[in-house]
């Protein structure tokens, strides 16, 4: 027994060296939000002065919004008022309940992992199986980090970046989503917990896809995650966020902020697969996913691409957007959003064309089932001096059953007469004759629905890195179970 | 044991009785044709056999290989070896023909407790059958029936039938919308599948297809009943006299 404990302790200390594990302390903040809590958070993280100052300015701004009752209410979603004083804004990183084997895991969760085809090693990690998890993840993380170091890529937790690379953080933090941007961005800026930081230097093409999986605390849900990715001139990186495994959290509100900056000739690809707890079949519980994600194509010929598969959360409210400032810059948004049972989604994108000859592509696939309400909200704005701008938008809705809803709010503002815009939209149901055709070939109804839906989403899945694409297809099938009675 | 036995079948659609007591029996190896005027119930019969839920069977019994067909769902009947070549095949956007075919075959294999189809074996066999139906390889990556011409859709139906190798193939007006060349290709595809263990039910309006797929028996369906049955010469006779004489002369079958 003792040699096991020693080994684990050694490995745990090695993890500190890699910086993947945040400080393990044992206190949590009391409920509520005020300046003291903000100071408490900053102190726990050993942050430099500039970071605390930024948090405090953000907090004061948020407080003024809150007092003025300026919480945004325009989205096509309904939720009970959030009591911001009834949330714990800092808790010690949870030691997951350690179990000895997967057999001890809730069979329902186990079944979902199996259906999603999650490899055994990953299942163990997600479930918090004690010894194995440590060994598996350390060995993987080691090779990974070495490869990146060779290439000169910085990839670490946001907290580590604040401590180890303060100049970079200072330079870019808030440059794409300032704390004044919106109510939830202000809240996030005041109390953000952790997230990812990635910096790819000039001319470097990041040698592998970066994934939150490689940060051990990735399976911990981030209440208020903050992520910053910067690609310098000629650099490129592909980043994957999330996983298909359903994640529960006692914290209901998740208000993350993601900022991307691409300089001249740089490219950033950001893919998300989100399957947070969506609430039960009657719409009770579930996570509120209120996210601000934005990329700035600062340099000429730069490109930022967002791909998202959102199947979880009780409420999804996010508009991953692109500011196309650099000449010839390109912004893309590919999305599959599913609402089943009583889920709600109000999601889409904003493409702001500022520089000359900029291009944007939007492909949105919304699937509504059960009593789900799915809203696409997209804005394409062509500013006065944005000559030669082009946009292609396609938003399609698929309705399964007759108690769900699909809504579309496109905003198109064009202030330059040389712009070319294409907008296509469609709304369809899964036809009984389509289902019958597939069933007459031997497929069960659920498999037929799955096949049709995956065909519907193909254009978006094509944009995902391969492993994610396969998982995403399975995820869609699992999420639609029971939707066709 | 007959492959298919239909006894006194009565079917209602939206409250209207369309089939009024159909009796029919098929042995393996046989090809039967059902002819009749518009509205006689030909397609209804085909859809009921394929187990479409919107058709209400009010009376009668159907045995497929000795099993109660009316107790089966569409996918079960399919896995038991019943195939319907649709009159109007639907489109399934985003789903490639190759993927669809393999999934369908796997569903049948699974039902029978067999192993999944090996991808390496599957493609060469598929290509062979496509050649027979004069279909281009490019077709494999296209979405099912999307932007297909009428002829391509019907050939796709026959290709699927060739891959799934059913015991009973029901062709629902497969010849509608086909030009002479397409007709010939489709017919040769069907004829290539004729075998002692397999039967076909060819539902058709016109006699023309039956020049290529020569039936063993021809049944005339008028007003929901089979009013006359005969050999292949009956089809030629109908070309001359039309359906009217057959219907009025007879009463119940």
pLDDT digits (tens, 9 = 90+) for A441-467: 999 999 999 999 999 999 999 999 887
Residue A218: predicted pLDDT: 38
Residue A128: predicted pLDDT: 56
In this model, does residue A468 exceed pLDDT 90?
A: no
In Å, what is the CA distance from A277 to each residue of A32, A254, A284, B141?
Answer: 24, 12, 11, 36
Residue A23: predicted pLDDT: 37
Euclidean distance between CA atoms B168 and B162, whole angstroms = 12
Euclidean distance between CA atoms B158 and A393, whole angstroms = 38
**CB neighbours of B57 closer than 8 A, spacing ≥ 6?**
B9, B10, B11, B48, B70
3-state secondary structure A275-310: CECCCCCCCCCCCEEEEEEEEEECCCCCEEEEEEEE
Weakest-pLDDT range from A8-22, A203-217, A329-343: A8-22
Residues in A touching B111 (Cβ below 8 Å): 442
In this model, does residue B73 exceed pLDDT 90?
A: yes
**Confidence at A88, pLDDT banded by 50, 70, 90:** confident
Q: Decide if A442 and B75 are in contact by the 8 Å CB cutoff.
A: yes
On whether any CB of chain A is under 8 Å from the CB of B72, the answer is no
**Confidence at A121, pLDDT banded by 50, 70, 90:** low
In this model, does residue A394 exceed pLDDT 80?
A: yes
Q: How far is B248 from chain A (nearest CA, A)?
A: 35
In this model, does residue A9 exceed pLDDT 50?
A: no
Residue B246: predicted pLDDT: 76
Indicate the domain borders of chain A.
Answer: 1-318, 434-480
On whether any CB of chain B is under 8 Å from the CB of A434, the answer is yes
Please, are residues A204 and A238 in contact by the beta-carbon 8 Å criterion? no
Class of domain B4-249: alpha beta
Q: Decide if A452 and B95 are in contact by the 8 Å CB cutoff.
A: yes
In Å, what is the CA distance from A354 to each residue of A173, A298, A384, A393, B208?
Answer: 21, 10, 8, 18, 65
Residue A213: predicted pLDDT: 53
Residue A217: predicted pLDDT: 40
Euclidean distance between CA atoms B200 and A46, whole angstroms = 79
Long-range contacts of A55-60 (CB under 8 A, 24+ apart): A55/A189, A55/A190, A55/A191, A55/A192, A56/A190, A57/A179, A58/A179, A58/A186, A58/A187, A58/A189, A58/A190, A59/A33, A59/A35, A59/A186, A59/A189, A59/A190, A59/A191, A60/A35
| Strand A236-242 to A210-211 pairing | parallel
A439 → closest Cβ in B75, B83, B94? B75
**CB neighbours of A110 closer than 8 A, spacing ≥ 6?**
A102, A123
Please state, for a pLDDT cut of 70, what percent of chain B lies above it.
Answer: 97
What is the sign of the dihedral through the CA atoms of A43, A45, A48 and A51?
Answer: negative
Residues in A touching B103 (Cβ below 8 Å): 443, 447, 451
Residues in A touching B77 (Cβ below 8 Å): 440
| Strand B4-13 to A405-414 pairing | unpaired
Please, are residues B180 and B211 in contact by the beta-carbon 8 Å criterion? no
Residues in A touching B104 (Cβ below 8 Å): 438, 441-443
Weakest-pLDDT range from A222-226, A321-325, A427-431, B198-202: A222-226
Residue A474: predicted pLDDT: 86
Euclidean distance between CA atoms A339 and A383, whole angstroms = 34
In this model, does residue A12 exceed pLDDT 70?
A: no
**Confidence at B250, pLDDT banded by 50, 70, 90:** very low
Please state, for a pLDDT cut of 70, what percent of chain A lies above it.
Answer: 81
Euclidean distance between CA atoms A246 and B89, whole angstroms = 38
**Confidence at A251, pLDDT banded by 50, 70, 90:** low
Euclidean distance between CA atoms B48 and B27, whole angstroms = 19
**CB neighbours of B143 closer than 8 A, spacing ≥ 6?**
A455, B91, B92, B93, B94, B95, B96, B97
On whether any CB of chain A is under 8 Å from the CB of B90, the answer is yes
In Å, what is the CA distance from B84 to each residue of A250, B158, B168?
Answer: 52, 10, 9
On whether any CB of chain A is under 8 Å from the CB of B93, the answer is yes
Residue A208: predicted pLDDT: 84
On whether any CB of chain A is under 8 Å from the CB of B111, the answer is yes
In this model, does residue A13 exceed pLDDT 50?
A: no
Weakest-pLDDT range from A50-59, A96-105, B169-178: A96-105
The pLDDT tens digits for B227-236 are: 999 999 999 8
Q: Decide if B103 and A447 are in contact by the 8 Å CB cutoff.
A: yes
In this model, does residue A220 exceed pLDDT 50?
A: no
Residues in A touching B143 (Cβ below 8 Å): 455
* Average confidence (pLDDT) over A231-256: 83
**Confidence at A310, pLDDT banded by 50, 70, 90:** very high
**Confidence at A376, pLDDT banded by 50, 70, 90:** very high
Weakest-pLDDT range from A105-114, A299-308, B4-13, B95-104: A105-114
Q: SS3 for B169?
A: strand
**Confidence at A134, pLDDT banded by 50, 70, 90:** very low
A456 → closest Cβ in B89, B93, B105? B93
Mean predicted lDDT score pLDDT of chain A: 85
Q: Which residue has the higher pLDDT, A365 or A134?
A: A365
Residue B48: predicted pLDDT: 97
Weakest-pLDDT range from A45-59, A217-231, B10-24: A217-231
Euclidean distance between CA atoms A105 and A83, whole angstroms = 33
Q: SS3 for A356?
A: coil
Phi, psi values for residue A279, rounded to 5°: 95, 170
Residue A19: predicted pLDDT: 27
* Average confidence (pLDDT) over B26-52: 95
In this model, does residue A190 exceed pLDDT 90?
A: yes
**Confidence at A141, pLDDT banded by 50, 70, 90:** low
CA angle A51, A53, A56 (to 5 degrees): 110
In this model, does residue B2 exceed pLDDT 70?
A: yes
In Å, what is the CA distance from B124 to each residue of B61, B127, B131, B135, B188?
Answer: 41, 5, 11, 14, 20
Please, are residues A299 and A233 in contact by the beta-carbon 8 Å criterion? yes
* Average confidence (pLDDT) over B149-164: 94
For chain A, helix, strand, coil in percent to 5 are 35, 30, 35
Residue A323: predicted pLDDT: 98
In this model, does residue A177 exceed pLDDT 70?
A: yes
In this model, does residue A146 exceed pLDDT 90?
A: no
Q: Decide if A437 and B89 are in contact by the 8 Å CB cutoff.
A: yes
Six token digits for residue B20:
């009024």
Residue A142: predicted pLDDT: 63
Whose tokens are 């010939």? That residue is B184
3-state secondary structure A198-257: EEECCCCECCCCEEHHHCHHHHCCCCCCEEEEEECCCCEEEEEEECCCCECCCCCEECCE
- Burial classification of residue A150, based on how many CB atoms lie within 10 Å of its CB (0-12 exposed, 13-18 middle, 19 or more buried): exposed
Q: Decide if A442 and B94 are in contact by the 8 Å CB cutoff.
A: no
Please state, for a pLDDT cut of 90, what percent of chain B lies above it.
Answer: 76
On whether any CB of chain B is under 8 Å from the CB of A426, the answer is no
**Confidence at A135, pLDDT banded by 50, 70, 90:** very low
CA dihedral A280, A283, A287, A292 (to 10 degrees): 140
In Å, what is the CA distance from A350 to each residue of A330, A353, A360?
Answer: 13, 10, 10
Weakest-pLDDT range from A209-223, A359-373, B217-231: A209-223
The pLDDT tens digits for A274-299 are: 888 888 888 888 889 999 999 999 99
Indicate the domain borders of chain B.
Answer: 4-249
* Average confidence (pLDDT) over B192-207: 94
* Average confidence (pLDDT) over A463-481: 86
Six token digits for residue A380:
């394409």
- Burial classification of residue A225, based on how many CB atoms lie within 10 Å of its CB (0-12 exposed, 13-18 middle, 19 or more buried): buried
Number of other residues whose CB lies within 10 A of the CB of residue A85: 10
């Amino acid at each position: 027994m003792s040699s096991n404990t020693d080994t684990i302790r050694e490995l745990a200390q090695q993890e500190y060296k890699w910086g993947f594990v945040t400080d393990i302390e044992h206190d949590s903040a009391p409920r509520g939000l005020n300046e003291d809590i903000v100071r408490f958070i900053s102190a726990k993280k050993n942050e430099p002065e500039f970071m605390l100052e930024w948090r405090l300015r953000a907090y004061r701004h948020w407080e003024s919004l809150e007092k003025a009752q300026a919480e945004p209410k325009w989205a096509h979603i309904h939720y009970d008022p959030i009591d911001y004083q009834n949330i714990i804004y800092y808790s010690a990183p949870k030691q997951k309940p350690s179990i000895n084997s997967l057999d001890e895991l809730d069979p329902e969760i186990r079944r979902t992992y199996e259906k999603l085809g999650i490899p055994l090693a990953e299942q163990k990690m997600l479930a918090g199986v004690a010894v194995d998890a440590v060994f598996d993840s350390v060995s993987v993380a080691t090779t990974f980090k070495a490869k990146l170091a060779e290439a000169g890529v910085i990839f670490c937790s946001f907290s580590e970046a604040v401590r180890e690379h303060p100049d970079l953080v200072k330079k870019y933090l808030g440059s794409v989503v300032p704390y004044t941007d919106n109510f939830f961005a202000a809240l996030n800026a005041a109390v953000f917990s952790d997230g990812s930081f990635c910096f790819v230097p000039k001319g470097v093409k990041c040698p592998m896809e970066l994934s939150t999986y490689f940060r051990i605390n990735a399976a911990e849900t981030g209440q208020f995650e903050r992520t910053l990715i910067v690609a310098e001139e000629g650099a490129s990186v592909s980043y994957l966020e999330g996983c298909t495994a359903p994640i529960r959290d006692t914290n209901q509100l998740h208000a993350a902020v993601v900022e991307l900056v691409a300089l001249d000739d740089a490219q950033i690809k950001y893919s998300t697969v989100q399957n947070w707890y969506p609430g039960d079949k009657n719409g009770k519980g579930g996570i509120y996913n209120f996210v601000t994600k934005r990329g700035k194509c600062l340099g000429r010929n730069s490109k930022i691409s967002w791909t998202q598969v959102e199947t979880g959360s009780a409420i999804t409210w996010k508009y991953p957007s692109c500011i196309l400032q650099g000449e010839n810059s390109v912004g893309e948004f590919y999305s599959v959003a599913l609402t089943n049972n009583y889920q709600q989604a109000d999601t889409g994108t904003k493409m702001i064309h500022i520089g000359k000859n900029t291009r944007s592509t939007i492909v949105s696939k919304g699937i509504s089932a059960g009593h789900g309400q799915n809203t696409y909200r997209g804005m394409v704005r062509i500013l006065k001096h944005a000559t030669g701008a082009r946009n292609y938008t396609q938003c399609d809705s698929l309705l399964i059953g007759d108690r769900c809803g699909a809504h579309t709010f496109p905003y198109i503002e064009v202030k330059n007469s040389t712009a070319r815009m294409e907008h296509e939209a469609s709304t369809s149901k899964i036809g009984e004759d389509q289902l019958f055709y597939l069933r007459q070939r031997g497929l069960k109804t659920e498999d037929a629905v799955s096949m049709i839906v995956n065909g519907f989403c193909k254009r978006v899945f094509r944009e995902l890195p391969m492993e994610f694409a396969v998982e995403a297809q399975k995820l869609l099938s699992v999420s639609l179970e029971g939707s066709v009675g | 044991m007959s492959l298919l036995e239909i006894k006194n079948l009565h079917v209602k659609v939206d409250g209207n009785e369309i089939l009024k007591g159909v009796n029919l029996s098929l042995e393996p190896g046989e090809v039967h044709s059902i002819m009749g005027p518009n509205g006689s119930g030909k397609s209804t019969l085909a859809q009921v056999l394929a187990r479409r839920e919107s058709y209400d069977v009010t009376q009668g019994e159907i045995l497929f290989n000795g099993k109660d067909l009316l107790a089966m769902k569409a996918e079960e009947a399919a896995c038991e070896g019943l195939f319907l070549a649709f009159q109007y095949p639907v489109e399934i956007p985003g789903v490639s023909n190759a993927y669809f075919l393999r999934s369908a075959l796997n569903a049948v294999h699974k039902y029978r407790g067999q192993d999944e189809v090996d991808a390496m074996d599957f493609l060469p066999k598929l290509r062979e059958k496509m050649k027979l139906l004069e279909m281009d390889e490019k077709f494999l990556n296209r979405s099912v029936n999307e932007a297909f011409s009428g002829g391509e859709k019907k050939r796709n139906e026959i290709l699927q039938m060739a891959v799934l190798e059913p015991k009973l193939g029901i062709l629902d007006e497969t010849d509608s919308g086909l030009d002479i060349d397409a007709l010939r290709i489709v017919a040769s595809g069907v004829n290539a599948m004729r075998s002692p263990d397999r039967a076909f039910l060819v539902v058709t309006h016109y006699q023309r297809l039956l020049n290529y797929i020569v039936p063993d028996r021809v049944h005339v369906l008028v007003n929901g009943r089979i009013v006359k049955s005969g050999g292949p010469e009956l089809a030629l006779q109908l070309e001359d006299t039309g359906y009217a004489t057959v219907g009025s002369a007879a009463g119940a079958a």
